[in-house]
Every structure is written in structure tokens, then in C-alpha cells.
Amino acid sequence: MAKAPLLTVVIPAYNETDNFGAGVLEPVVDYLQQQKYGWEVVLVDDGSTDATNKLLTGFCQSHPGFRLLRINHGGKAAAVTAGMLTAGGEIILFTDFDQSTPISEVSKFINRHQDGADVVISFRAQRHDTLIAKVRGWAFVTLVQLVALPGIIDSQCGFKSFTNVAARKIFTHLKVSQPVGKISGGYMGAFDVEVLFLARKYGLRIDQVPVQWTRYVSNRLNIWKEPLRMAYDTFRVRVYDILGLYAN
């Protein structure tokens, strides 16, 4: 049997034609090809309705180590979960398609895992953002810390890694983040909150690491409805735990 790679990178994709055309995957290729450890990249097409699937199919055919998984549209949580559960790496990282956090930051995360961390999450040390986005982010972080995750600096930065064992423990027990009914747009909800809440509930070690981060403008999420949905889902996570719905 082939030895499992050290690292699997999971990248969810939903209608990413513009980002693909901007060459966002090339730095991922360049960085990983320079590494001495084994790696793989799982691109998860979340039921895209544009040319994303065709573009990613061709990309994987011409880039060894990359493979494509296509699912019915279920939002970011569904896409990341599908990728995490098919990953073969000892360490599994999920990151955003637009590479707002550069893949090179993963070296810090691997070091933390080798030091004993089960889960490593990023926080944006500097946020060059609009005032509205900063206020909205501060309000949500405060809510999350009060309701579910005290001490977590930044639950929402989309660059997180897990040991394979931790990933399977967490991602097979998600409940609030499971898609129900017809999902529209880039639905995300409080996916990251539920993931980290379960990590803590199961006694896993979570390390927090500062990363570089660049904001890329996107219109796939409603800037008013999505925060409200995320807040609602955060309370649901807490209620589900009180009701004993999360198995150990």
C-alpha cells in the first residue's frame, strides 16, 4: 500500500470561473511542488453552475497530485466536509479558493501539529477592511465568544488544519451545518463555529496562529442576511449541546 501523504489540502469551489482565470491555484502548485513531504490537493466542486467543473477537471488532469470531487450544491460546510472525509493525509487543511491566506502559511500549522496540536486555526492579525465589515466582524466574534467559544480570537478565518483522526471525529458529527432543503448561493452559516465547538467538546488541543490575509470582494454572500443566519446557527450549536445531541 502507498504511504499516506503528510498533507492534504481541501479547497471548496463554487462558481469560481473568475478566480480560476486570475490564476489563484498556481501559487498552490508552485509551493507544494517545492516541498519534500508527500501531499495531495482535493478540489471540491460544490455543484457549480458555471464553467468551474470543466476548468477544474482540466486542471487536475494536467497537475499530478490534484484531484476533483463534485457534490450536489450544499454550501461551504458540505463541500469542506466531503473533502475532509475523503482526504488521505496525516494532516488535513482546508482553505478558501481565492487564497486570501497564502498556502505558504501551512508550514506554521504543520509545525504545531508535530508539536502535538489536534487542530490549528488561523487568526487575521491585521485586517485591512471596510468599517462596516470590521464592525460586523467584531459583533460576530463577541457573540461567538460569549455563546460558544470563549478565548477563540477568530473563528471565521478560512484556513484551518486537523489531524486526520481529529477531522473524522469532528466532521462526522456536524449537525447544525448539515444542508437541509434547497441551498442557494454560497451558504456558509456558523460552520466554523460548530467545528471548533466540537473540537473543544471532544477535548482536542486547538492552537491559534496569526496569518497573512487579504480581503477579496465577493458578492456571493448577502452581507446582512448571512451574519443573521450565522448568529442564529451559533445559538443552535449551543442549544444542540444542551439537549445532548452531540455524541462523544
- Residue 46 pairs in a beta bridge with 71
Instruction: Tell me the pLDDT of the chain averaged across its residues.
Output: 90
Distance CA 228, CA 230 (A): 5
Cβ(67)–Cβ(43) below 8 Å: yes
**3-class SS at 192?**
helix
* Tens digit of each residue's pLDDT (9 = 90 or more) over 80-109: 999 999 999 999 999 999 999 999 999 999
pLDDT digits (tens, 9 = 90+) for 197-210: 999 999 999 999 99
**So what's the pLDDT on residue 64?**
96
Cell output for 185: 448561493
Q: What is the pLDDT of residue 99?
A: 94
Q: Which comes out higher in pLDDT, residue 138 or 116?
A: 116
* Euclidean distance between CA atoms 20 and 28, whole angstroms: 12
| pLDDT at residue number 128 | 58
**pLDDT for position 218:** 56
Looking at per-residue pLDDT, the higher value among 201 and 142 belongs to 201
Rg of the chain in Å (alpha carbons) = 17
Residue 223 has pLDDT above 70, yes or no: no
Are 215 and 129 spatial neighbours (Cβ–Cβ below 8 Å)?
Answer: yes
The residues with which 94 forms a beta bridge, in sequence order, are 10, 160
CA–CA dist 3, 89 (Å, integer): 9
**Contact between residue 159 and residue 236 where contact means Cβ atoms under 8 Å apart:** no
Q: Does residue 103 contact residue 9 with C-beta atoms inside 8 Å?
A: yes
| pLDDT-based confidence at residue 2 (cuts at 50, 70, 90) | low
Q: Coil, helix or strand for 96?
A: coil
pLDDT band at 1 (very low <50, low <70, confident <90, very high): low
* Over residues 135-161, mean pLDDT: 86
| Residues contacting 181, CB < 8 A, separation 6+ | none
Residue showing cell 460544490: 46
Domain 7-242 falls under CATH 3.90.1150.10:
no
Grid coordinates of 211: 496569518
Domain map (residue ranges) of the chain: 7-242
pTM for this entry: 0.91
